[in-house]
């Protein structure tokens, strides 16, 4: 008889479960070996056939020591969650670090100015439709950036990208405000 068995074990207690499974598998193999020996042995008189004791080592069910997670604790100064146990200079340093972290996070999330403008353009077109977008945007660009560059009939995004970022962000804010107010450039509702 042939038997295939596939078992997946994972999780926090996987090592304990694997040891128990190995122990049980060993016991099953030992029992199957004894049964195979009995089947292969010639029949003996009933009095003489005493079953041979099977000895299979079984591991104790002691839980394995869980590995500690994280860094080892630093010796010396510790930070307490309780305000009465915190040192004043630590609070100030923590507040400064928090402010610096938040500023860096905001800076990382901000889109480049031209991408901010593109997003505002998409919102404007979605809100007012393609026809309104095509008629309003050239006039908006001229109001924000002046006349188109020499040799150009109108402003193109590639040329706008070459301008100062403050001007680009300003135009994006104008577009975003028009979308938020549900108004078109030029005052049409």
Q: Give the residue numbers spanning the domain of 172.
A: 113-181
Domain count of the fold of the chain: 1
* Inside any domain, residue 79: no
119: left (phi over 0), alpha (psi -120 to 50) or beta: alpha
Give me the mean pLDDT over the 45-60 stretch.
54
- The C-alpha angle 160, 147, 187, rounded to 5 degrees, equals 90
* Inside any domain, residue 137: yes
85-143 pLDDT, tens per residue? Answer: 555 566 777 778 888 777 777 666 667 888 989 999 999 999 999 999 999 999 999 99
* Inside any domain, residue 169: yes
Query: Residue 154: which residues within 8 A CB-CB, separation 6 or more?
Result: 138, 141, 148
* Inside any domain, residue 43: no
26-45 pLDDT, tens per residue? Answer: 776 666 665 556 666 555 55
* Inside any domain, residue 42: no
- For residue 175, what pLDDT is reported? 92
153-167 pLDDT, tens per residue? Answer: 889 999 999 999 899
* Inside any domain, residue 152: yes
* Inside any domain, residue 67: no
* Inside any domain, residue 27: no
């Amino acid at each position: 008889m042939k038997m295939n068995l596939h078992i997946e074990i994972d999780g926090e207690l996987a090592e304990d479960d694997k040891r128990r499974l190995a122990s049980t598998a060993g016991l099953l193999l030992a029992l199957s070996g004894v049964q195979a020996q009995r089947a292969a042995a010639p029949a003996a008189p009933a009095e003489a056939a005493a079953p041979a004791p099977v000895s299979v080592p079984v591991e104790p069910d002691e839980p394995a020591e869980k590995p500690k997670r994280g860094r080892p604790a630093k010796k010396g100064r510790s930070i307490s969650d309780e305000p009465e146990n915190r040192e004043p200079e630590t609070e100030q340093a923590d507040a400064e670090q928090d402010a610096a972290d938040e500023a860096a996070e905001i800076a990382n999330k901000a889109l480049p100015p031209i991408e901010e403008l593109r997003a505002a353009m998409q919102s404007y077109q979605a809100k007012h439709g393609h026809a309104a977008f095509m008629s309003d945007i050239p006039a908006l660009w001229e109001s924000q950036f002046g006349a188109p560059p020499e040799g150009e009939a109108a402003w193109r995004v590639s040329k706008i990208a070459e301008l100062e970022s403050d001007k680009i962000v300003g135009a994006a804010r104008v577009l975003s405000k028009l979308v938020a107010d549900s108004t078109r450039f030029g005052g049409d509702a």
